Amino acid sequence: MKDKIVLITGGSSGIGKALSEVFGKEGARIAITGRNKEKLEEQKNKLHSEGIECLAIQADSSSEDDNYRTVSETINTYGGIDILIANAGISMRAMFEDLDMKVFEKVMNVNLYGPVFLIKAALPYLKKSKGSIIGVSSFNGFKGTPARTAYTASKFALGGFLEALRLELIPKNIHVMTVYPGYTESNIRNTALTAKGEAQGKSPYEEGKMMSSEEVALRIFKATKKKKRELYMGFETKMGRLLNKFFPKLTDKMVYNHMKKEEGSPVK
């Protein structure tokens, strides 16, 4: 990993932040993006203090222009891209019949079109490096859950896009991997959008009991080195995938009941 150039979206918090540290400590040169300038600078300074090269780029991950600018700034600074990690994401929590369609569109823009724009911009450089494209999906990337329609749609679409892209890129020797983390301690549930598009402000779960962002990042790092096609993490993700394959009707009921019991659940 020495001197590899790693571009990570959503790199100022959660899994993205942890990824910048894991790859950086192995000698990679890091570029991180995020919307919060203060948090970006804080993470950049932290990495610099540990002897890790880091470029911090303030950007809106849903913007096509910002994604192309992100790639341009990375190329201008480092001269190439070896590993691209599309990690930035946003969630939502509302029943579909109550959901403002602008919220649905926003979730799709961040979780699907953001990675699509970024990969499109970076592809010429990844062809040169014969690098890796990593997309961070979710349990919702293979199993729908109530009150998460937009989030589920975006993650299913991301997985399908990456699968098709992986096949297209076989002759180019570009590695493509989709990551399916389980429940991970992060800020994504605090910032999940309500039916009207406001941040819900509080997680319905005890975040401290979940898999840590550091553990998720370490597993992604190891899977990237091994050039895996897919990575499933967490008991609920692995078991959910298995149950959904062999007992789909039972799994539907289990997932429905689980989501209904969430604190403040909109599922009735």
pLDDT tens for 209-254 read: 678 999 999 999 999 999 999 999 988 899 999 999 999 999 999 9
Position 103 in a domain = yes
Tell whether pTM > 0.85: yes
In a domain, 254, yes or no: no
Q: Is residue 268 assigned to a domain?
A: no
- CATH number for the domain spanning 207: value is 3.40.50.720
In a domain, residue 16? The reply is yes
Quote the CA–CA distance of 222 and 244 in Å, as a whole number. 27
Q: Would you please indicate which residues are annotated as catalytic (active-site) residues?
A: 151
Domain extent at residue 35: 5-235
* pLDDT band at residue 170 using 50, 70 and 90 as cut-offs: very high
Number of domains forming the structure of the chain: 1
Helix locations, the chain, DSSP H: 14-25, 37-49, 64-78, 101-108, 114-129, 149-168, 213-225, 235-246, 248-260
